[in-house]
Structure 1
């Protein structure tokens, strides 16, 4: 696993949920309009048909 140093204000743990041909992660509404970075910290489920 790679290590990334990211400076920021808050951390939010979430799970990627399927939608159409992609996925989404919900963040708090107060983050609207903010720049956000998403880092995958585990391997995706291998049971999924999507890549």
Structure 2
């Protein structure tokens, strides 16, 4: 049976595996942050357009 230590060592490849996981998580987090920021910008832009339409003669 595999112990936790064996799992963490990844068969001797831990120096390659764990940084890869870290980089993947970093990219996913950056993608999430970028999407949320873009969503906020689009919402503000649409709100400004809606205000223009209601105030335009």
TM range (shorter): under 0.3
Task: Return the structure number with greater relative CO, CA threshold 8 A, min gap 6.
Answer: 1
TM-score by length of 2: 0.15
* Structure with the higher helix share, 1 or 2: 2
